[in-house]
Structure 1
């Protein structure tokens, strides 16, 4: 695992080094205000990528426990961002307290101990039933259905769905499980990066201005195809054949796109541009993990049902 991961990490660091050099050159040449702002945003994104790659790569090298702790922290931050923007009432406070300080940690403990049976149903069954029951004790019935739905959506997106990424570590496929996680993250994140680059270079036709004004058809198809190609070439990280890797990476790319698209629709409904501001050039943690929310569960179950030994 170490040698393959080292090769992938070296390739990513090489790409970041090239991107940093290009950003430096563009910054020196940019003169118009619009160009300067675009280059500054690009360089901010690149700086953040250096930090994110270092944190993720370090967690992978430290082992499974470090990865689970990292994703538990990311889920906590994402859930916090979700509720920072989402309206709530005093009657929601107990359910929210339980979401942050009981449901989330218990869910990740189940993941860390590889208790898959309970991990799979803890949030969609037990939290789904218990949290609205607890909320009724406050006696606040104003918009109760909508408020309960927001509690469930927050947990499903930021905790349950995201946790399926580190859950890959419990699968036995004949391939080091950490490489499956690396594969998922690389394909998902490169899809976002390629869509951004293709959109900036060739984007002319807006996909859905009301939901995501920056997304274009050229970016979507060019970036998606590029990420699928990378996913196919990285088949040695997985138990897949090259053809299977192409098919699975297609699922990852499509699911990742709709993850970002759905989260963008929620942001627009909440009159927000970003979920947060902790990642320079990217927004919040949930802005960076929105594609993972849809892609991780699908990838996990594809691998679990068809490729585990």
Structure 2
């Protein structure tokens, strides 16, 4: 065990994982629009917490406003099933026009940091998570099962990685950013997640055992890189602000970091290999 680990976080994590599991199970069964609104709300609060980490200037507030306004547009493209606009809106159009509010009469100090950090937040918290909502519109027949498959495996991968790292982890991946990411946790989580994908794909998806195994590997790897990226990002943005860093451990961002990566990766894998998407 890690002698300097706060074990009270375990209970909080488990409660949050179960709450997310319940939401992602219930919302798709009610109506796709309910699921879309739930994920849009999650994206909003995740982006809000991300912005709270950034040491912003007064000139950046208008930039953040435009970033928030892009959220309903991104999810509206999903609602009307306009895949072409959905896939390019944030990576291209928002990327190109987002700097305008910061350029006009706001000077040049801090321009690169504020614009690039805002685009990073939009790509991860909005563009990445929005793929979760598109499953049910892209394939109404299998969408709910695919979302459940993805969320269960992503959360399982996080749980196993966290617990193994907590109790048995020795070799830390990035000790300066996250003490709970170890190579032992990564290896065991990869095996367990892949095995679970093989077992549950039959009940939740039409992808078959081979792609079930491949999906488990892909979700575990992308989830690991998602957690690692968000951990390093938070540490970089909150250097010298330990109190805020500790507070954010209990927020949304520490629970959905893996989903920001696994959602688009799994979505595009399914879309590429299967015609029902």
From the superposition, tell whether residues 98 and 36 of structure 1 become closer, same or farther in structure 2 (CA, over 3 Å): closer
From the superposition, tell whether residues 95 and 36 of structure 1 become closer, same or farther in structure 2 (CA, over 3 Å): closer
Alignment pair present for 1:242 and 2:209:
yes
1:186 to 144, 152, 162: 152
Please give the residue correspondences for 1:56-75 in structure 2 after superposition, counting only pairs within 5 Å: 56-75=24-43
1:3 is matched with which residue? none
Deviations 1:169-194 (A, max 9, x none): 22239x52111111111111100001
1:215 to 181, 186, 207: 181
SS for the counterpart of 2:226 is helix
2:51 is matched with which residue? 83
Q: Normalising by structure 1, report the TM-score.
A: 0.81
Deviation at 1:276, TM superposition (A): 8.0
Q: Distance in 2 between matches of 1:124 and 1:53?
A: 29
Report if the CA contact (8 A) 1:197-1:223 is conserved: no
Report if the CA contact (8 A) 1:275-1:283 is conserved: no
Alignment pair present for 1:138 and 2:127:
no
- Number of equivalenced pairs: 270
2:72 to 93, 105, 112: 105
2:63 to 95, 105, 108: 95
Q: Larger C-alpha radius of gyration, 1 or 2? A: 1
Deviation at 1:277, TM superposition (A): 5.1
Deviation at 1:136, TM superposition (A): 0.8
Deviations 1:49-103 (A, max 9, x none): 3433333322122120011000100000010001001122222221211111x21
Structure 1, unaligned runs of 5 or more: 1-33
Q: Distance in 2 between matches of 1:87 and 1:106?
A: 27
SS for the counterpart of 1:283 is coil
Please give the residue correspondences for 1:263-274 in structure 2 after superposition, counting only pairs within 5 Å: 263-270=230-237, 271=239
From the superposition, tell whether residues 199 and 216 of structure 1 become closer, same or farther in structure 2 (CA, over 3 Å): same
1:165 to 132, 141, 148: 132
Structure with greater contact order relative to length (CA < 8 Å, sep ≥ 6):
2
Between 194-203 and 71-80, the greater mean CA deviation after superposition: 194-203
